[in-house]
């Protein structure tokens, strides 16, 4: 990359013309980092622009459960199942020991009827799902206090969780090892978009043959910079009562014989986290971006108490931290991937379940952009499905 001082109004960053095409990826969350790594590995000249630090957006706080446990319709289930396989394939080449945890998922069900029906449906769809009894649940997760005998428990051995911070570090390192440039802070914060050109807050302009927006929940702000293209409708996350924000809680210390799997009880989702902590989410924690801190602290304490009731050996655990974090929630719940109608030079990728999906989506996106051949698997997820329709919204 050469910086030329030829224009008075800006610095012009010229990504060297090449045998390869130049691609700007906006956002270094799990999705953008994976896309940048795939494109750079495929030989594209990649510039990865990140307003903050890689992995400090939604991906940092995600429950990061890799699953296709309750996702429909069938095509979306299959996409997520391909996501599970894609991480298993990527892990050996990307120091998976640091971030890949294929430990399975144990569920103590809230509703026997719903759980049994889901296990039956998933089995019919070729997914590994089993109803188990209390003795089997105890053998799988000795730290867990089990409910009354006869309650429904289910075991999903193919599911996993990821530690997103070390994962994203490795994805970015893989991209840069294949020639990508990472720019962060003002140099990486995108403030203007036009065909073939990306302007940053530092006043630089990066030239590109392809621009891929992986800005997570900030995607609508980025697509608005592209002019009259779109829409890319996400559920508004900054309105009071929005379902997009969620409270995550980290507690510890956890004894070495503490839980090892992804666990759901009717009152709690939990999994191990690095540093001897557990990561918790209480599904009924009623928070948004305006919830006062004392209420957040009260929910965090409630999570700790629920965890103590669910798991043995947590009597010395305390709340190590809590954070409201925000899901990017496409208005119809499905991924949005492809060229923006009206501004086809901008390729958009935004999704919930982005941790599950990033390894597979990034492979499909890289194949489309390098071979210029549309992916049939991505056909249901194109942004043009929203064109000319009233944008649905979901409230609480
Ligand atoms: C509480 C919670 C639990 C979740 N649980 C799961 C789960 O169990 N399994 C699962 O698969 N998914 C889960 N998700 C969803 C998943 O975490 C997200 O889909 C995923 O992290 C989105 O990744 P991303 O890379 O698209 O976005 P992000 O990680 O948010 O990355 C976007 C990046 O874009 C950058 N950016 C924004 N604006 C600009 C700009 N102008 N210029 C440059 N950079 C910019 C941001 O700084 C950020 O780093 C959960 C989410 C939440 C909130």
Cα of 353 from ligand 1 centre, angstroms: 9
pLDDT of residue 203 exceeding 50, the answer is yes
pLDDT given at position 18: 39
* Residue with CA closest to ligand 1 atom 39: 51
Coil, strand or helix: which one is 346?
A: strand
Q: Whose Cα sits closest to atom 18 in ligand 1? A: 354
User: What three-state secondary structure class fits 320?
Assistant: strand
What separation in Å is there between the alpha carbon of 351 and the centre of ligand 1?
Answer: 8
* pLDDT value, residue 389: 60
Contact 203, 191 (CB under 8 A): no
So what's the pLDDT on residue 87?
98
* Confidence band for 228, pLDDT divided at 50, 70 and 90: confident
Q: CB neighbours (10 Å) of residue 181?
A: 20
Is 4 strand, coil or helix? strand
Q: Give the alpha-carbon dihedral of 283, 288, 293, 295, to 10 degrees.
A: -50
* Per-residue model confidence as pLDDT tens digits over 140-184: 999 999 876 667 899 999 999 999 999 999 999 999 999 999 999
List of residues 6+ apart from 352 with CB closer than 8 A: 327, 328, 329, 330, 333, 335
Ramachandran angles phi, psi of 388, nearest 5°: 75, 5
Tell me how far apart the alpha carbons of residues 333 and 235 are, in angstroms, rounded to a whole number: 9
DSSP per-residue codes, 109-121: -S-HHHHHHHHHH
- CA-CA distance, 152 to 169, in Å (whole number)? 39
- What is the tens place of the pLDDT at every residue in 345-379? 999 999 999 999 999 999 999 999 998 789 999 99
Average pLDDT over the chain reads 92
Q: Residue holding tokens 């014989």?
A: 257
Q: Which of helix, strand or coil describes residue 333?
A: coil
Say which residue, 363 or 394, is predicted with more confidence.
363
pLDDT tens figures, 124-146: 999 999 999 988 999 999 999 98
Distance of alpha carbon 121 from alpha carbon 287, whole angstroms: 32
What is the pLDDT, as a whole number, of residue 364? 98
For the chain, the first-to-last Cα distance in angstroms comes to 48
Over 50: is that where the pLDDT of 282 sits?
yes
Contacts of 290 (CB under 8 A, 6+ apart): 240
pTM of the model: 0.94
Residue 12 structure tokens: 């012009």
Q: Rounded CA gap, 116 and 109, in Å?
A: 9
Q: Which of 243, 354, 358 has the most ligand 1 atoms within 8 A of CB, as the residue to mutate?
A: 354
Question: What share of the chain in percent tops pLDDT 90?
Answer: 86
């Amino acid at each position: 990359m050469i910086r030329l001082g030829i224009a008075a109004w800006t610095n012009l960053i010229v990504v060297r013309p090449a045998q390869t095409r130049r691609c700007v990826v906006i956002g270094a969350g799990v999705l953008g980092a994976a896309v940048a790594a795939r494109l750079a590995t495929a030989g594209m000249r990649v510039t990865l622009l990140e307003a903050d630090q890689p992995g400090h957006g939604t991906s940092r706080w995600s429950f990061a459960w890799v699953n296709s446990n309750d996702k429909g319709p069938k095509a979306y289930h299959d996409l997520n199942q391909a996501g599970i396989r894609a991480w298993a394939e990527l892990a050996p080449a990307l120091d998976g020991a640091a971030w890949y945890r294929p430990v399975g998922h144990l569920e103590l069900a809230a509703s026997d009827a719903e759980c049994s029906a889901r296990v039956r449906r998933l089995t019919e769809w070729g997914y590994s799902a089993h109803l188990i009894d209390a003795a089997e649940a105890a053998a799988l997760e000795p730290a867990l206090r089990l409910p009354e005998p006869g309650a429904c428990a289910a075991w999903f051995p193919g599911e996993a969780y990821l530690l997103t911070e070390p994962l994203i570090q490795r994805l970015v390192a893989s991209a840069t090892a294949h020639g990508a440039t990472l720019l962060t802070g003002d140099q990486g914060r995108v403030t203007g978009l036009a065909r073939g050109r990306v302007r940053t807050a530092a006043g630089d302009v990066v030239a590109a043959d392809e621009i891929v927006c992986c800005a997570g929940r900030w995607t609508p702000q980025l697509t608005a910079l592209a002019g009259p293209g779109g829409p890319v409708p996400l559920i508004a996350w900054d309105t009071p009562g929005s379902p997009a924000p969620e409270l995550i809680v980290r507690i510890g210390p956890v004894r070495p014989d503490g839980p090892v799997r992804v666990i759901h009880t009717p009152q709690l989702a939990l999994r191990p986290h690095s540093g001897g902590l557990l990561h918790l989410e209480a599904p009924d924690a009623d928070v948004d971006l305006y919830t006062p801190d004392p209420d957040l602290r009260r929910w965090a304490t409630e999570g700790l108490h629920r965890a103590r009731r669910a798991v043995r050996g947590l009597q010395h655990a305390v709340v190590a931290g809590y954070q409201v974090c925000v899901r990017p929630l496409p208005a119809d719940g499905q991924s949005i991937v492809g060229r923006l109608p009206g501004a086809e030079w901008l390729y958009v990728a935004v999704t919930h379940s982005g941790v599950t999906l990033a390894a597979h989506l990034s492979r499909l996106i890289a194949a489309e952009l390098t071979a210029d051949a549309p992916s049939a698997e991505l056909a249901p997820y194109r942004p043009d499905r929203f064109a000319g329709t009233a944008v649905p919204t979901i409230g609480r």
